């Protein structure tokens, strides 16, 4: 048997090339979240909320394209209702209720729950409930409207004049997941009717949202 020996510098070069290889994302799409605290505000407003609220959030995904564990998820929508005993920016444990669109197949439901749980473990924390419901997710321009009738609702639009970009020092939080082209949104209306992880709550007319594109 003929053995070929490669010089050490070549092996190191090949190893570095493999390590630096970019792996394309398996799922991409639209994302919007609303927190129960303003994410863009003056310092006094932020300090008044940070220890009293900000313990809940609605997170919503619409997969544009992608495959997870061999299952195609194009067009599948989901909402996560996240709650904690402390502000979500703190290290306290999170609990999550997941709602997956009723139009998804059983295989798509299992694949999406696995994808979200594996990719966003720290933000979602313990997933205590998964249920189905019809979910609409509309993204037109810089406006997002998400609705799971009788469970949760999100209505978010862009901030006027991109104020959050002009004054980035007034953005006090980070989105719960990594986003491309992250923007702060103005929450026209957001509500959760209560369920497995929290009592009902609602927020309106404040800068309490993030939106952008996700990739996992």
At 104-119, the pLDDT tens digits run: 999 999 999 999 999 9
Q: What is the mean pLDDT of the chain?
A: 89
Looking at the predicted structure, is the pLDDT value of residue 2 above 80? no
Q: Is residue 15 part of a domain?
A: no
61-89 pLDDT tens trace = 999 999 999 999 999 999 999 999 999 99
Looking at the predicted structure, is the pLDDT value of residue 128 above 70? yes
pTM for this structure?
0.88
Count of domains forming the chain: 1
Q: Is residue 23 part of a domain?
A: no
| Lowest-confidence region among 34-38, 49-53, 92-96, 101-105 | 49-53
The CA-atom distances, in angstroms, between 110 and each of 31, 71, 106 are 20, 9, 6
The CA-atom distances, in angstroms, between 100 and each of 81, 153, 183 are 11, 14, 25
Do 34 and 155 touch, CB atoms closer than 8 A?
A: no
Do 210 and 29 touch, CB atoms closer than 8 A?
A: no
Q: Is residue 22 part of a domain?
A: no
Domain span at 111: 28-215
Which structure tokens are listed for 74?
């194009």
Question: What mean pLDDT is predicted for residues 148-154?
Answer: 96
Q: How many angstroms from the chain centroid is the CA of residue 123? A: 8
Q: Is residue 19 part of a domain?
A: no
Q: Which residue has the higher pLDDT, 1 or 61?
A: 61
Q: Is residue 13 part of a domain?
A: no
5-26 pLDDT tens trace = 434 433 333 344 444 556 688 9
Q: Is residue 2 part of a domain?
A: no
Q: Is residue 182 part of a domain?
A: yes
Q: Is residue 6 part of a domain?
A: no
Residue 166 is predicted with a pLDDT of 64
The CA-atom distances, in angstroms, between 123 and each of 10, 33, 103 are 41, 12, 26
Residue 163 is predicted with a pLDDT of 61
């Amino acid at each position: 048997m003929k053995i070929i020996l490669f010089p050490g510098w070549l092996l190191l070069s090949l190893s570095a090339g493999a390590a630096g290889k970019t792996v394309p994302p398996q799922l991409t799409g639209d994302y919007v979240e609303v927190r129960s605290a303003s994410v863009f505000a003056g310092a006094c407003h932020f300090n008044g909320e940070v220890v009293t609220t900000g313990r809940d959030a609605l997170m919503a995904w619409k997969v544009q394209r992608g495959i997870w564990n061999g299952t195609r998820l194009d067009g599948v929508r989901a909402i996560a209702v996240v709650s904690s005993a402390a502000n979500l920016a703190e290290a306290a444990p999170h609990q999550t209720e997941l709602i997956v669109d009723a139009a998804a197949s059983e295989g798509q439901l299992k694949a999406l729950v696995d994808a979200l749980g594996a990719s966003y473990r720290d933000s979602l924390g313990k997933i205590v409930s998964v249920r189905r419901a019809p979910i609409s997710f509309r993204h037109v321009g810089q406006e997002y409207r998400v609705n799971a009738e009788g469970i949760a609702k999100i209505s978010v639009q862009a901030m006027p004049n991109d104020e959050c970009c002009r004054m980035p020092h007034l953005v006090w939080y980070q989105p719960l997941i990594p986003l491309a082209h992250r923007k702060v949104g103005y929450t026209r209306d957001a509500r959760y009717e209560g369920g497995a992880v929290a009592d009902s709550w609602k927020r309106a007319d404040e800068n309490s949202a993030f939106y952008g594109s996700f990739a996992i």
